Amino acid sequence: MTVMILFFLILLAVFIGSITTSILLLYIGWRRGPKWRKDNIFCLLSIVLGVYLWVIILSALYDPAWGSADLTIYALYTAAAGVTPLAAFPGILLFSGKRKA
Residue 100 in this model has a pLDDT that exceeds 60: no
Give per-residue pLDDT as tens, 27-78.
888 887 777 777 778 888 888 888 888 888 877 777 665 666 676 777 777 7
Buried b (16+ CB within 10 A) or exposed e, 77-100: bbbbbbbbbbbbbbbbbbbbbeee
Residue 20 in this model has a pLDDT that exceeds 70: yes
